[in-house]
Amino acid sequence: MPSIIIFNLIKLLVVSQNGRALHIVFPHQFLDSPEWFGVPTDEFFQVSITAMEESRVLIWHRDKLKLSIITDQFLQAVFDHILGRDVVKKLMQFEPFQRKNYSL
């Protein structure tokens, strides 16, 4: 599967690995924003994504999206800022979620 970035439009998504919930993706959050900054496109890892209700998501091919915005420094800065804020929100909700130790 090509490297992609996913934006959750509505409802909750649960990201899990080996049956253990890693985190929840709330509406208007990116599914894989941390990976945008830290994972090369040739690295792969497997997680499961479970929608808690019927959901809608937007999916972009990561490399094509990066090529589309690389020529416009302003657009690139805006997109990096939006994704950066998304990462910070996830980090802030990560610790309380991990303390509850959810599993699927």
Question: What DSSP assignment string belongs to the chain?
Answer: ---EEEEEEES-EEEEETTEEEEEE-TT-BSSHHHHHH--TT-----EEEESSS-EEEEEEHHHHHHHHTT-HHHHHHHHHHHHHHHHHHHHHHHHHHHHT-B-
Nearest of 8, 3, 4 to residue 89 by alpha carbon: 8
CB neighbourhood size of 33 (10 A): 22
Express each pLDDT in 49-102 by its tens digit. 899 888 888 888 888 888 888 899 999 999 889 888 888 887 887 666 556 655
Domain count, the chain: 1
CATH number at residue 35: 2.60.120.10
CA dihedral over 43, 10, 83, 22, signed as positive or negative: negative
pTM of the model: 0.67
List the domain range (segments joined by +) for residue 45: 4-100
pLDDT band at 40 (very low <50, low <70, confident <90, very high): low
